[in-house]
């Protein structure tokens, strides 16, 4: 069955282009041009992914996002943000968006992000395999062990938990706040810099070049994305 994408965007030219292209890729596309009817359509169900503009009449994309999440919808939300609006990205991810692309976006990039989100959404949450491999690295979740080229990589429990979380959410931007909440459980003494420090350690252990990371990629102003 084709996946249905709900496009909430008020710019007619973009609605036309996106609808055309997405339908060409085999998706079913429904569009709404303001935030209010967008929320309504999203909550009516049967939507596999929401493509959401931020600047919308009646309700902003942030508000749409919040409302949809509050109502319990788990549909992946991909936000369309304006170039250089890092604040938008941060707020977007905080309100429950899964990822974003920056306007004007590259169509291939957008399609790849859509595909990644749909793939992740259709895999059951607990379905992380016992062993996950990327490059010469192996994460064995049964033994809570990481190997590189067959050799165990020593790491702290926290580093391991951080890596496991990133890997389990591969292809998605994960904010520092989310990592603090999910991996550190918001211990009051933990600063968001701690996340960066731990990521740095993981990179030194896992990346061929920690300065040019291939697996744990920085998403400027937001957080990290595991690209394995
Ligand atoms: Ca707009």
More confident call, 41 vs 145: 41
Cα(71) to ligand 1 centroid in Å equals 23
Average pLDDT over residues 199-205: 94
Cα(160) to ligand 1 centroid in Å equals 41
Q: Does residue 129 surpass a pLDDT of 80?
A: no
Cα(57) to ligand 1 centroid in Å equals 8
What's residue 85's pLDDT? 66
Cα(56) to ligand 1 centroid in Å equals 5
Query: What are the structural domains, with CATH classification, of the chain?
Result: 4-122 (3.40.50.2300), 131-226 (1.10.10.10)
Cα(117) to ligand 1 centroid in Å equals 22
Is the separation of the CB atoms in 105 and 83 below 8 Å?
no
Q: If DSSP codes are grouped into helix, strand and coil, which group holds residue 41?
A: helix
Whether pTM exceeds 0.85: no
Q: How confident is the model at residue 163 (pLDDT cuts 50, 70, 90)?
A: very high
- Both tokens of 15, joined, read 């609605």
- Both tokens of 2, joined, read 């084709």
């Amino acid at each position: 069955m084709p996946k249905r994408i709900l496009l909430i965007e008020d710019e007619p030219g973009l609605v036309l282009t996106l609808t055309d292209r997405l339908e060409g890729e085999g998706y079913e596309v429904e569009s709404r041009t303001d935030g209010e009817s967008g929320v309504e359509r999203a909550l009516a169900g049967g939507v596999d992914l929401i493509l959401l503009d931020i600047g919308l009449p009646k309700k902003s994309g942030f508000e749409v996002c919040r409302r949809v999440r509050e109502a319990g919808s788990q549909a992946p939300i991909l936000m369309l943000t304006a170039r250089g609006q890092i604040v938008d990205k941060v707020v977007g991810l905080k309100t429950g968006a899964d990822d974003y692309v920056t306007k004007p976006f590259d169509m291939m990039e957008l399609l790849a992000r859509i595909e990644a989100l749909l793939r992740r959404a259709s895999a059951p949450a607990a379905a992380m395999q016992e062993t996950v491999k990327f490059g010469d690295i192996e994460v064995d979740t049964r033994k809570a062990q990481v190997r590189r080229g067959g050799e165990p990589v020593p790491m702290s429990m926290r580093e391991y938990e951080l890596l496991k979380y990133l890997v389990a959410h591969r292809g998605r931007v994960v904010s520092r706040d989310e990592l603090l909440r999910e991996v550190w459980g918001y211990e009051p003494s933990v600063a968001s810099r701690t996340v960066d420090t731990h990521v740095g350690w993981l990179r030194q252990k896992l990346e061929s070049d920690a300065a040019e990371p291939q697996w744990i990629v920085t998403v400027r102003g937001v957080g990290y994305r595991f690209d394995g």
